[in-house]
Structure 1
Amino acid sequence: MDANTESWEFELAPYSISAKKELPKAGVKGDVGHFGSVTVERCPLYRPLEKGMETARLSGPAFPETTFRGKRRSARPSLFKAELTLDGQHAELHFNARALRKKDRALGIEYEGREYVYRAEEWGSVKVLTRAGVRISMGPGRHVPPATTFRAGTVTGPVDAVDLAIAIVLEEVDTEVLTLGGAALSSPFALMQHFSDRAE
């Protein structure tokens, strides 16, 4: 990308909702430039009928309906048994659980001819989604006492709603295995099993 490539910023606020007659909800929401409002929603409550799976759903007037489903970890879907869909179309996910170098521990995403790379930077505090000519980074933003920390997004290149939907829905996914430290706390064999199952 050259120095003249367009760059702009946005932020997402965490939220949680508890209601007596409905399941609790949690996630992030905000306004994303001229794309307008977006919300990512998940249920923090463990539900036995989901058989250990969890789902994060992204919605917004300008965005494709995006769903990330995976094995529940830390009250979020994880990269174990993961599935990503946009407007009902499945994306292909690739991850090398055996990789020892940081740059090789990235999630590859293929969707309608596009190839994305999603990786952790700065000890896992920043996540970056890239494809040809486009980069979206998400990291810690401003802190509002006592306990609210926004997520700050920086966009570079001619992004569209699909790019943003993927980067934003992943904010509510447990991606600890993208770092070696996080992988040490997880079971890489579950990931390897998942991707070998999909290859059959």
Structure 2
Amino acid sequence: MDTSGESLRFELTPYSVSAKKELPTSGVRGEVGHFGSVTVERCPLHRPLDKGLDTVRLSGPAFPETTFRGKRRSGRASLFKAELTLDGRPAELRFNARALRKEDRALRIAYAGREYVYSVEGLGKAGVLEREGVRVAIEPGPYVPSAGTASTGTATGPADAVDLAIAIVLVEVDTDVLTLGGAALSSPFALMQHFSDRAE
């Protein structure tokens, strides 16, 4: 029986695969308590045919198939021009990159009648996904050379596979713009983005 006081801890480990005949993939994977295995993958190479968009995919036997697409930035998908789908159903995403307060810059996600708020404590700090009664925080750990950054996740409240899938897929997305430092660093990028969007 789920109780609001329960807590689930899990580890996500970076991996990368380079095959001769296929595109290389990298991402994170791990075991998430009784939900079992989960894998998040993306292609680290820039692919011009994708119109500057990158795709991140999450899969696992107990999880909804989750896909995040966004404008490529810093070698990975970002929140610009972003789309999130779970089991083929789109979620609605909103955020204000120009806001000064952290609460106002947070990413708001609406999916299947649920309202989520995703915020980042700071550059290189934990990403936190919250809805009423549920909180999933994923904190970056030490950087592993040639692999990437390991992460530790903690879910509190009756978190289900949808909550966890959204929080975990965002580990492989560039969410720096949700932090004040990241927003300041990305403002020239945001301006260029504005003009390139209008040009398309």
Is the pair's TM-score, using the shorter chain for normalization, greater than 0.5? yes
Corresponding position of 1:78: 78
Percent of aligned positions with the same letter in both sequences? 71
Q: Aligned to 1:64, what secondary structure does the other structure show?
A: coil
Deviates more, 1:176-185 or 1:51-60: 176-185
Return the offset for 1:142. 5.7
Corresponding position of 1:137: 137
Matched AA of 1:34: H
Distance (Å, rounded) in 2 between the aligned partners of 1:66 and 1:107: 17
Corresponding position of 2:39: 39
Corresponding position of 1:197: none
Residue-by-residue CA offset, 1:86-132 (whole Å, 9 max, x unaligned):
00000000101221012221000000100000001154511000000
- Which ranges in structure 1 are unaligned for 5 or more consecutive residues? 194-200
Distance (Å, rounded) in 1 between the aligned partners of 2:145 and 2:167: 26
Distance verdict in 2 for CA 1:191–1:109, change over 3 Å: farther
Residue-by-residue CA offset, 1:41-97 (whole Å, 9 max, x unaligned):
100011111111100000000000000000011221100100000000000001012
TM-score with structure 1 length normalisation? 0.89
- Which ranges in structure 2 are unaligned for 5 or more consecutive residues? 196-200
Distance verdict in 2 for CA 1:149–1:172, change over 3 Å: closer
Return the offset for 1:190. 7.0
Distance verdict in 2 for CA 1:91–1:146, change over 3 Å: closer
TM-score with structure 2 length normalisation? 0.89
Corresponding position of 1:198: none
Corresponding position of 1:158: 158
Q: Aligned to 1:185, what secondary structure does the other structure show?
A: helix
Pairwise CA RMSD of aligned residues?
2.3
1:100 correspondence with 2:70: no
Distance (Å, rounded) in 2 between the aligned partners of 1:71 and 1:165: 20
8 A contact 1:93–1:109 mirrored in 2: yes
